[in-house]
Homo-oligomer: A and B are copies of this chain.
Amino acid sequence: MPRAAAPGSKRARVLGFIRDRGEISRGEIAAAFELDKKTVSGIVDELLTASLIVPTGFRESQAGRRQELLALNGSHSNHVGIDLGATHIIGVLTDLNARPLDRVFFEIRPGLPVQIILDQMRTITRSLLASPRATAKVASIGVCVPGFVNPRAGVSLVAENIPGWKEVPIRAEFESAFGLPVLTEDCSRALGLAERRLGAGRGRSDFILLDLGYGIGMALFLDGRIYSGSSFKSGEIGHSVVDPSGAECTCGNRGCLETVASGRAIAREAAAGIAAGRSELLAGLTRGRGEDATAQDVAIAARMGDPFAMDLLRKAGAAIGLSLANAVNILNPASVILGGGLITSNPILVESIGAGLRANAMPGIRDELALEVSTLGVDGSALGAALLAARPVFEGA
């Protein structure tokens, strides 16, 4: 097939450029796009008329001329982002500039019925649509879910870590409920989008993001774009087989990385350790709910110096580091970003992953690799979902 022209109109590309640069003058736009002043003025006037950008003041040029500065108009529209995890639902309301305006956090227990989860997601969306902190009309909703997602069809195909979750028509369910455009994507890719726009992925064309939570996900940014694979299923590093004779995994295979190093696996090991009396500290932290101990409990115990908890995290980190090293050898990214709920405030895990990665990546590749830790916190995927929701504003400009 003939190759398509570069996607997006000239106006859309100028708008994206203004967004990425923060503040910029007409002259800088002209220079960056090799356009004449008249063409740039025409495009800028159209963007101003559409309220997509606003003048923000003046700056003196080197030649001593006053240059008007332009920036994205955050108040052009608001957007809702919903992140469904195995243990939580997080909703955020943002402006067009991805500035968080409001937020809802809701903890869920693994095993809730699908309809209850969907109801809760809609309730959270509704509360954000009615938020008193909104700065503009909500223009669209982004929803990320774990597992396999077909963003084109707007369907969540299957989420191994949510029992019964299969072929859920996210877009149809939300569009009919709210009458707004709905976009959907895998949560690790949403987190990757957030890192690329707001976090450690800024300015990077090639990075991989490890999303470590109840499950283990990954987003690939290659040549400046998300790479989703031939059928939207890329990034399943959690199902790297690390021990072919290991425990059975939710996917049906044996010894996947998720069976030894996910939040779920760490929680299971913690519960077993508590039952066997291997950690007084963990038993105390989880008194009365030892069988429901979480990976977060383990992270807290490890920070307090508990040897059993520290050992659990070190083993998980070593396994993750080795699998990451193999992925890095294949892809040669400029950086690896560690993100997801289990990474936040978990220095022992971060350090063990780094050690496993450095020990096993090929020297010529490892020496050029940057290892970074997400600073977006637990709301990262929800922010990414809101960014996804805002995409049509930029692409259609």
Contacts and interface: CB of A to CB of B under 8 A. Distances in A.
Contact of A6 (B1, B5, B368): B5
Given A33-B2, A227-B223, A244 B322 contact: yes
B330 A330 contact: yes
A74 B120 CA distance: 64
A229 B206 contact: yes
Interface residues of A, number: 59
A103 interface: no
Contacts of A244: 322, 359-360
A33 B157 CA distance: 35
A140 to B, nearest CB: 23
B6 A13 contact: no
A327 interface: yes
A193 B266 CA distance: 44
Interface stretch (A88-96, A124-132, A275-283, A331-339): A331-339
Interface string A1-24: 111111010000110010000000
Interface in A1-56: 1-6, 8, 13-14, 17, 32-33
A261 to B, nearest CB: 14
A252 B332 contact: no
Contacts of A322: 241, 244
A176 interface: no
Interface in A128-153: 148
Nearest to A257: B326
Given A205-B230, A228-B332, A326-B326, A364 B3 contact: no
- Indicate how many identical chains form the complex: 2
A237 interface: yes
Given A231-B368, A364-B158, A241 B325 contact: yes
A329 B3 contact: no
Interface string A200-229: 000001100000000000101011010111
A251 interface: yes
B6 A329 contact: no
Nearest to A206: B230
Contacts of A330: 218, 220, 234-237, 240, 327, 330-331
A322 B231 CA distance: 21
Interface string A354-381: 0000011011110010000000000000
28 contacts: A2-B14, A2-B17, A3-B13, A148-B364, A218-B330, A222-B227, A223-B227, A228-B332, A229-B333, A230-B332, A230-B333, A230-B334, A231-B334, A231-B365, A233-B364, A233-B365, A234-B330, A236-B329, A236-B332, A236-B362, A236-B365, A239-B362, A251-B363, A253-B359, A256-B362, A323-B326, A327-B330, A330-B331
Given A6-B6, A157-B364, A244-B359, 17 more contacts: A3-B13, A220-B331, A223-B225, A227-B331, A228-B332, A230-B332, A231-B332, A233-B364, A233-B365, A233-B368, A240-B329, A241-B322, A241-B325, A241-B360, A251-B363, A251-B364, A253-B362
**List of 4 A-B pairs having minimum Cβ-Cβ separation, nearest first:** A229-B332, A230-B334, A236-B329, A233-B332
